[in-house]
Chains A and B, each alone.
Chain A
Amino acid sequence: MNVRSITPVLVLLLVCSVDAQAARIGELTENDPWQQVRRFFTFADPGLRIALAGALLFGAACGLLGSFIVVRKMALIGDAISHAVLPGVALGFLWSMDKDPLAILAGATAAGLIGSLVVELIQRTTKIKQDAALGIVLASFFAVGLCMMRMIQNTGAASRITGLKSYLFGDVAVLNRQDLVAIFVVVIVTIFLVILLYRPLLTIGFDREFARSTGLPVRWLDCLFQLFLAFCIVVALQAVGVVLVSALLITPAATAYLLVNRMHHMLWVAAVFGMVSAVIGVFCSFLGSNLPTGPFMVLGASSLFLLAYLFAPRHGRVTRWMYYRARRRNVSNENMLKSIYRIIEKGMAGKDGRAGVSMDLLAGERQVSTAELFGDLRRLRSLGVVEFVDGKGQVALTESGFRQARRVVRKHRLWELYLTNEADYASNHVHDDAEKIEHFLSEEKVAEIERQLDFPDVDPHGQPIPGRDRV
């Protein structure tokens, strides 16, 4: 992570929105969706600029902190803290009787920390484990928060407090310049903290006991991490909502976890995914004027996760499926070449090695129907390894096909011999194993086996092993 590379971006974000008025995104709507899209991408709308800047900032911070949460298996803690802050938000309202970001930030952070302390207290003093403790605290704090929210609405002060409901489901449109400054400060400090304390946090995440044994102040770092986690949750709260904010912590980080193998890469990727998800949310709620932002941010994050799940380079489901399909096809191609080769070898074709082999004979050897066989052969023809002999119902190997066929047979027979000679297999047990291995043995391995067996001529069944020189 490089501090210098991030700073200008963040400064730019803040500057962009300084001249913004308190106008809300939803207030100036165009009827034509295309107009609306155009307005989004020209950033003409000052309210939109605030919303976007805020979304990018807390999206990045959520991705960063979320990465640690995911690798430390603390996902439930993020969820619990985000619910536990609600009474604090309400208290902040009551205290200032206005939407004062500072009062709300203080109240919510305090509530979040009290929540995590209560969880720890329950864990320490009873035999209840963390998951149940989190469940209890999450729900009761949230319930208290809901009651307090209703009380505030009943006092009549709600007329002055427009943003109250947004805390539940999130509405990026209610962000104002004050909020943005709060977000900016919190996120900047969080990012610097993560960069500064990356190594200790990594060590604690991987092996907590070892970290303690090296004298790292683990408890202190844990508290600091939780504090900033609470901060980030609170600043994202208005835009995403209590109910869904933990998804913005977990989903982008989990997506990154599927894609990369090193923690520092994961932090970057998660931060970018967090930002993208947040912007998707802003965009959707901007298009359909009164839609809540939070659900769309979460849907954005979930879509990214789905894409990674399906198409991740190595472990994506679709990627793997395609890989296996290609491999199966390759195995079937090689088996076909081998069958043709065997027929030629048995002298059932013409004297010339490349003479045609009758389709019926081949279908018998492969134990498939002629139609199926024809389909497979057409695929092989497109690869340039077989050709049809016109008008005779015969098929012949091309020169490269013949070479490939010899190579496979050679691997098969050498492997059979290797198993019988070196691994003490009975000669009638080796065929099935060789059927599998022949497709995966590399040329180097085969050469090694051949050397080890002292360049044999025949396999355990007395069939000739094609030599290397002629392959």
Chain B
Amino acid sequence: MSDERCHDPALEVHDLTVSYLRRPVLYGVDFLVPKGRLVGIIGPNGAGKSTLIKSIMGLVPASGGWAKIYGKPVKEKIRRLGYVPQRESVDWDFPVNVMDVVLMGCYGRIGLIRRTGRKEKARAREALDKVGMLPYADRQISNLSGGQQQRVFIARALAQESDIYLMDEPFAGVDAATEVALVTLMKEMRDKGKTVIVVHHDLATAREYFDMLLLLNMRVVAFGNTQDVFTGKLLQQTYGGRLTVLSEIADKVAKDGG
């Protein structure tokens, strides 16, 4: 556990417990993310990674515990959260184009009834430009590759202009170029004081991408700065039993002197 205690944490999660049909999927999750960090959530399949970020936002009801952003309950500050859901969670045949999707990032802020004006369009264009998708603004979303779809989702979150971003597997099924571009973008966001929390499935890259790691397997196995928690022992606890992945990574850690 990181010893770093901060007075003004961006995100504080306390004893968060989630059950599905009375079967617990997350037990008493505690962690505290300081402002301006790039945090990876890693753990095996079924560890509750997606459930964790959904329950932080209140999309999945928690049976106990709470999450606060900047000291206030999430519900009151929901507009300071940006969300990137899993790409497969939507129907890409939906009759909208890239611009329509990115503009959806602005609706939370402008309210139910007001229309999007020039300001929102400019913001959406800026967000598209940051992910290199501006030339595709008028493209039908069904004609996008996996990497492009993911970029559009990130752009939509950028258009939310939030302070904390929760991203669910943004690197799943994207091409290498997109992955590099997105990691660079996330680091830029962090440098501007945004807090970015990413569910990640690839242990091999986790260490170079993130400042802090949350090792999760239905409970928090470890949370702290990457160099402190990315150890063979803790990974073994997290992935317990899944030897193939584990031994591979343990070897790598041993070889790299981690």
> Which residues of chain A have a CB within 8 Å of any CB of chain B?
71, 73, 196-197, 199-200, 202-203, 205-207, 209-217, 257, 260-263, 265-266
CA distance A261 to B99 in the complex (A): 13
CA distance A210 to B96 in the complex (A): 16
Q: Are A209 and B59 in contact (CB under 8 A)?
A: yes
CA distance A294 to B133 in the complex (A): 48
Q: Which residues of A contact B91 (CB under 8 A)?
A: 71, 73, 206
Please tell me if B85 contacts chain A, counting CB pairs below 8 Å. Answer: yes
Q: Which residues of A contact B90 (CB under 8 A)?
A: 206-207
CA distance A461 to B91 in the complex (A): 49
CA distance A203 to B113 in the complex (A): 13
Please tell me if B95 contacts chain A, counting CB pairs below 8 Å. Answer: yes
Contact residues, B51-94 vs A (CB, 8 A): 54, 57-59, 78-79, 81, 83, 85, 89-91, 94
CA distance A261 to B142 in the complex (A): 10
CA distance A207 to B87 in the complex (A): 10
Q: Which of B79, B104, B156 has the most CB of A within 10 A?
A: B104
Q: Which residues of A contact B95 (CB under 8 A)?
A: 71, 257, 260-263, 265-266
Please tell me if B101 contacts chain A, counting CB pairs below 8 Å. Answer: yes
Give which listed residue, B54, B57, B89, B116, contacts A207 with CB less than 8 A: B89
Q: Which residues of A contact B57 (CB under 8 A)?
A: 212-213
CA distance A217 to B75 in the complex (A): 12
Residue of A nearest to B140 (CB): A261
Contact residues, B103-130 vs A (CB, 8 A): 103-105, 107-109, 112-113, 115-116
Please tell me if B100 contacts chain A, counting CB pairs below 8 Å. Answer: yes
Residue of A nearest to B142 (CB): A261
Q: Are A215 and B79 in contact (CB under 8 A)?
A: yes
Interface size on B, residues (CB 8 A): 31
Q: Which residues of A contact B78 (CB under 8 A)?
A: 213-215
Listed from nearest, the 7 A-B pairs whose CB atoms lie closest are A214-B108, A213-B83, A215-B78, A203-B104, A207-B90, A263-B95, A215-B108
Contact residues, B149-187 vs A (CB, 8 A): 156, 160
Please tell me if B237 contacts chain A, counting CB pairs below 8 Å. Answer: no
Please tell me if B97 contacts chain A, counting CB pairs below 8 Å. Answer: yes
CA distance A211 to B156 in the complex (A): 12
> Which residues of chain B have a CB within 8 Å of any CB of chain A?
54, 57-59, 78-79, 81, 83, 85, 89-91, 94-97, 100-101, 103-105, 107-109, 112-113, 115-116, 140, 156, 160
Supply 15 A–B pairs (Cβ within 8 Å), ascending by A: A71-B94, A205-B94, A206-B91, A206-B104, A209-B59, A209-B83, A209-B85, A210-B83, A214-B104, A214-B107, A214-B109, A261-B95, A261-B140, A262-B95, A262-B100
Shortest distance between the CB of A47 and any CB in chain B (Å): 39
CA distance A379 to B147 in the complex (A): 46
Q: Which residues of A contact B160 (CB under 8 A)?
A: 214
Q: Which of B95, B96, B97, B115 has the most CB of A within 10 A?
A: B95
Give which listed residue, B89, B105, B113, contacts A209 with CB less than 8 A: B89
CA distance A200 to B95 in the complex (A): 15
Shortest distance between the CB of A68 and any CB in chain B (Å): 11
Shortest distance between the CB of A262 and any CB in chain B (Å): 6
Q: Are A202 and B112 in contact (CB under 8 A)?
A: no
Shortest distance between the CB of B61 and any CB in chain A (Å): 12
Q: Are A207 and B59 in contact (CB under 8 A)?
A: no
Q: Are B116 and A199 in contact (CB under 8 A)?
A: yes
Give which listed residue, A199, A205, A207, contacts B85 with CB less than 8 A: A207
Shortest distance between the CB of A259 and any CB in chain B (Å): 10
Q: Are A206 and B94 in contact (CB under 8 A)?
A: yes
Residue of B nearest to A67 (CB): B95
Q: Are B104 and A210 in contact (CB under 8 A)?
A: yes
Q: Are A210 and B100 in contact (CB under 8 A)?
A: no
Q: Which residues of A contact B97 (CB under 8 A)?
A: 261-262
Residue of A nearest to B54 (CB): A209
CA distance A206 to B107 in the complex (A): 13
Given contacts A217-B112, A263-B95, 7 further A-B contacts (CB under 8 A): A203-B107, A209-B54, A209-B83, A213-B57, A213-B81, A214-B104, A215-B108
CA distance A462 to B126 in the complex (A): 53
Q: Which residues of B contact A203 (CB under 8 A)?
A: 104, 107
Give which listed residue, B54, B79, B94, contacts A214 with CB less than 8 A: B79
Give which listed residue, B54, B83, B115, contacts A199 with CB less than 8 A: B115
Q: Which residues of A contact B85 (CB under 8 A)?
A: 207, 209-210, 213
Q: Which of A71, A210, A212, A215 has the most CB of B within 10 A?
A: A210
CA distance A200 to B116 in the complex (A): 12
CA distance A200 to B108 in the complex (A): 9
CA distance A197 to B113 in the complex (A): 6
Q: Which residues of A contact B83 (CB under 8 A)?
A: 209-210, 213-214
Q: Which residues of B contact A207 (CB under 8 A)?
A: 85, 89-90, 104
CA distance A196 to B59 in the complex (A): 26
Residue of B nearest to A70 (CB): B95
Q: Are B101 and A206 in contact (CB under 8 A)?
A: yes
CA distance A378 to B224 in the complex (A): 79
Give which listed residue, B58, B100, B115, contacts A202 with CB less than 8 A: B100
Q: Are B96 and A263 in contact (CB under 8 A)?
A: yes
Q: Which residues of B contact A263 (CB under 8 A)?
A: 94-96, 100
Q: Which residues of B contact A261 (CB under 8 A)?
A: 95, 97, 140
Shortest distance between the CB of A469 and any CB in chain B (Å): 34
Q: Which residues of A contact B108 (CB under 8 A)?
A: 214-216
Q: Which residues of A contact B100 (CB under 8 A)?
A: 202, 262-263
Q: Are B112 and A200 in contact (CB under 8 A)?
A: yes
Q: Which of B81, B90, B109 has the most CB of A within 10 A?
A: B90
Residue of B nearest to A221 (CB): B112
Q: Are A199 and B107 in contact (CB under 8 A)?
A: yes
CA distance A263 to B95 in the complex (A): 5
Q: Which residues of B contact A211 (CB under 8 A)?
A: 104
Residue of A nearest to B113 (CB): A196
Shortest distance between the CB of A195 and any CB in chain B (Å): 10
CA distance A203 to B116 in the complex (A): 13
CA distance A143 to B78 in the complex (A): 45
Q: Which residues of A contact B156 (CB under 8 A)?
A: 210
Shortest distance between the CB of B54 and any CB in chain A (Å): 7
